[in-house]
C-alpha cells in the first residue's frame, strides 16, 4: 500500500505533527479518513503514541469507535499513514460551533442519542481496559446516519492496575481517572 493507491482530498484537520484528510482508494472508490503523521518531526514518545494508535485501532471493533482499515509508511514523504473510517457527518465540536453561530439549539433527543452512543463506546473501551485520555467534542465524530464514533486514540493507554496516574491529552478535557484525590 502507498499514497499512489489513493486520491487525496480536502483536509479535515491539522495538528503540529500531521494532518487528517479525506482520501478515496483507487481500487474500490471508497472514501476514508487518512491521518498523515510526519515521522521526521516526532520524538521517541510521539512515535510510540502513533504506533500505539495503530495497534489499538486495529484491535477494536465496535459500532461507536472509528474503524481502522490499514496503515503504511510512505518513504517519499516520511509519513506514517493511518487509513480509517470516514465520518461523513463531521465532529460534534463543529456542530456546536455551527449551532452557536446560527443561534440554534440541539433537540433533546439528539443529545440523548449522542450521550448513549458515547457511553456505549466508552464502556467498550473500558471493558478492554483502555483509557482514551483525550475525550472531547472534537474527537467525537458523526456519520450522516446519526451514529457517533469515538476517534483519535493517539494518547490512549491500556490500564494495567486500576486507575491511571499520568496526565496527557488536552488538559481542559482530562478524564477524572487521572486526578488523584
For residue range 122-148, list pLDDT tens digits in order: 999 999 999 988 899 999 999 999 999
Q: In percent, how much of the chain has pLDDT > 90?
A: 66
- Is the pTM value of this prediction over 0.75? yes
CB neighbourhood size of 148 (10 A): 23
5, 46, 75, 134: the active-site residue: 134
91 is catalytic: no
Question: 59 is written with which cell numbers?
Answer: 484491535
φ, ψ of residue 77 to 5 degrees: the values are: -95, -5
CB within 8 A of 57, min separation 6: which ones? 65, 66, 67, 68, 82, 84, 153
Amino acid at each position: 500500500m502507498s499514497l499512489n493507491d489513493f486520491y487525496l482530498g480536502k483536509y479535515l484537520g491539522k495538528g503540529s505533527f500531521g494532518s487528517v484528510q479525506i482520501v478515496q482508494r483507487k481500487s474500490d472508490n471508497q472514501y476514508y479518513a487518512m491521518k498523515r503523521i510526519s515521522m521526521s518531526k516526532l520524538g521517541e514518545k510521539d512515535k510510540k503514541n502513533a504506533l500505539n494508535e495503530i495497534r489499538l485501532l486495529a484491535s477494536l471493533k465496535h459500532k461507536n469507535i472509528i474503524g481502522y482499515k490499514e496503515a503504511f509508511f510512505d518513504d517519499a514523504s516520511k509519513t506514517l499513514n493511518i487509513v480509517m473510517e470516514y465520518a461523513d457527518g463531521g465532529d460534534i465540536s463543529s456542530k456546536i460551533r455551527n449551532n452557536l453561530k446560527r443561534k440554534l439549539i440541539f433537540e433533546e433527543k439528539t443529545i440523548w442519542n449522542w450521550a448513549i452512543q458515547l457511553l456505549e463506546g466508552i464502556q467498550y473501551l473500558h471493558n478492554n481496559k483502555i483509557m482514551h485520555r483525550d475525550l472531547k467534542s472534537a474527537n467525537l465524530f458523526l456519520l450522516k446516519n446519526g451514529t457517533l464514533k469515538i476517534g483519535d486514540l493517539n494518547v490512549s493507554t491500556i490500564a494495567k492496575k486500576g486507575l491511571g496516574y499520568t496526565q496527557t491529552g488536552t488538559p481542559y478535557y482530562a478524564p477524572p481517572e487521572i486526578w488523584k484525590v
